[in-house]
Structure 1
Amino acid sequence: MMDDRSHSTSSGPRDFLDGQLLIAMPSMRDERFARSLVYVCAHSADGAMGIVVNQPATHIDFGDLLVQLDVVPAKERILLPQRAETIKVLRGGPVETGRGFVLHSADYFIENSTLPIDNGICLTASLDILKAIAGGRGPESAVLALGYAGWAPGQLENEIQANGWLHCPADPELVFGDVVEAKYELALRKLGVQPGMLSSEAGHA
């Protein structure tokens, strides 16, 4: 679905936002995306797909999820490597919320399954990467998102023009950082914007 087009943007100005972070403006009308930070995985004339990277999935632990998905037997839950225990589970967006998508560093790659995006960040949506993480062979950095955000052709562009989103280059700290709730303000500061300049809502957790 996501990797059937060329990723080349060398033929002209970079119009597409693959590898960028979308920062929801206070004017965002869709409550599901209020104060959200979305990493854009694919963007073309056919639409866009991204993962929300700053909304933790409450009451879901990565190790427990591996057991639920039969990646590891329940009795081996306690034997998971330390890195697996630290992986954050996120609410990636409102589409296909029962499906897992792993954003990860480029030191792990599965032929025909991993989508390289930009700046050393990749997307893999197969169980193989979860098995690798459980076995201590996974990527150095990773987050698991349940669901994704999707836009029809032209929809994301229209939302940006309507002042719904700012965007900035992604960096690993904003995608993989431990303090998930702080990412929104960190992204704004990367653009030189103080959160209090945008809205009276700023400062509320």
Structure 2
Amino acid sequence: MQSLQNHFLIATPTMNEPLFKRSVTYICEHSDEGAMGLIVNQPANLNVTTLLDKLEIVYPASSESLKGPVFQGGPVGQERGFVIHPPQENWRSSLQLSDDIMVTTSRDILEALGSSAAPPKFILTLGYAGWEAGQLEQELAEDAWLAIPAAADILFNTPTSERWQKATEMLGFDVSQLAPGLGHA
């Protein structure tokens, strides 16, 4: 099995689950035991400052980076936060997944947001998407997802509303032209 860690899962037009419809999920872990990823294009009804207020974290009021949305990372563990950002040392709990992408789960990064110590760009998600052993492979076989190597440019420089389209363009064909069950006998 090829690991899909540091890949995007792009929901195909056949995906009907409301949370995953037209979603782009960044895969953080993938092994024989299962997979874990963060949806990066489904904003929650919450912005970063509101979340920081709820956590009683003080932040600079003038920071533009804090006005963005918090994302619905997935249906599992929605009380857990994940920050996707360019690699940066000094956080208590981080995992560097590529030369361009790191995921941090410790509170210290939240306390730094808006300051000069914060990552220059970030995506903050609540919750994650999880797959049991073999489940993601089955969904891929059923054409629910397409997988491509992740691109930091889509995460950090592409507007939320354009992430699915930009990710599908990386495939090199028009994903809307896929017929259900294509390639299965």
Whether 1:80 aligns to 2:61 is yes
| Structure 1 residue 173, shift from structure 2 partner | 2.2
1:138 — aligned with what?
A: 118
| Counterpart AA for 2:54 | Q
Q: Secondary structure at 2:137's aligned position in 1? A: helix
Whether 1:107 aligns to 2:88 is yes
2:51 — aligned with what?
A: 65
| Structure 1 residue 193, shift from structure 2 partner | 2.1
Whether 1:54 aligns to 2:35 is no
Q: How does 1:25-64 map to 2 (within 5 A)?
A: 25-58=12-45, 60-64=46-50
Q: Where does the alignment leave 5 or more consecutive residues of structure 1 unmatched? A: 1-13, 200-205
2:127 — aligned with what?
A: 147
Aligned match of 2:156 in 171, 176, 179?
A: 176
| Structure 1 residue 80, shift from structure 2 partner | 3.4
1:161 — aligned with what?
A: 141
Instruction: Work out the CA distance in 2 between the residues paired with 1:136 and 1:86.
Output: 16
Aligned match of 2:9 in 22, 26, 30?
A: 22
| Counterpart AA for 2:150 | A
1:11 — aligned with what?
A: none
| Structure 1 residue 177, shift from structure 2 partner | 3.2
Question: Structure 2 length as normaliser, TM-score?
Answer: 0.88
Contact 1:35–1:184 under 8 Å retained in 2 = yes
| Structure 1 residue 195, shift from structure 2 partner | 4.4
Contact 1:102–1:143 under 8 Å retained in 2 = yes
Instruction: Work out the CA distance in 1 between the residues paired with 2:68 and 2:94.
Output: 18
Q: Deviations over 1:106-149 (max 9, x none)?
A: 034424x1011124211111111011114331112211001100
Q: Where does the alignment leave 5 or more consecutive residues of structure 2 unmatched? A: 180-185
The structure with the greater share of residues assigned to helix is 1
Q: How does 1:187-202 map to 2 (within 5 A)?
A: 187-198=167-178
Instruction: Work out the CA distance in 2 between the residues paired with 1:171 and 1:26.
Output: 21
Question: Structure 1 length as normaliser, TM-score?
Answer: 0.80
| Structure 1 residue 69, shift from structure 2 partner | 0.4
Report sequence identity in percent: 37
| Counterpart AA for 1:91 | Q
| Structure 1 residue 171, shift from structure 2 partner | 1.1
2:182 — aligned with what?
A: none
How many residues in Structure 1 have an aligned counterpart in Structure 2?
179
Q: 1:81 to 1:178 in 2, by over 3 A?
A: farther
Q: 1:94 to 1:119 in 2, by over 3 A?
A: same
Contact 2:91–2:106 under 8 Å retained in 1 = no
Contact 2:122–2:156 under 8 Å retained in 1 = yes
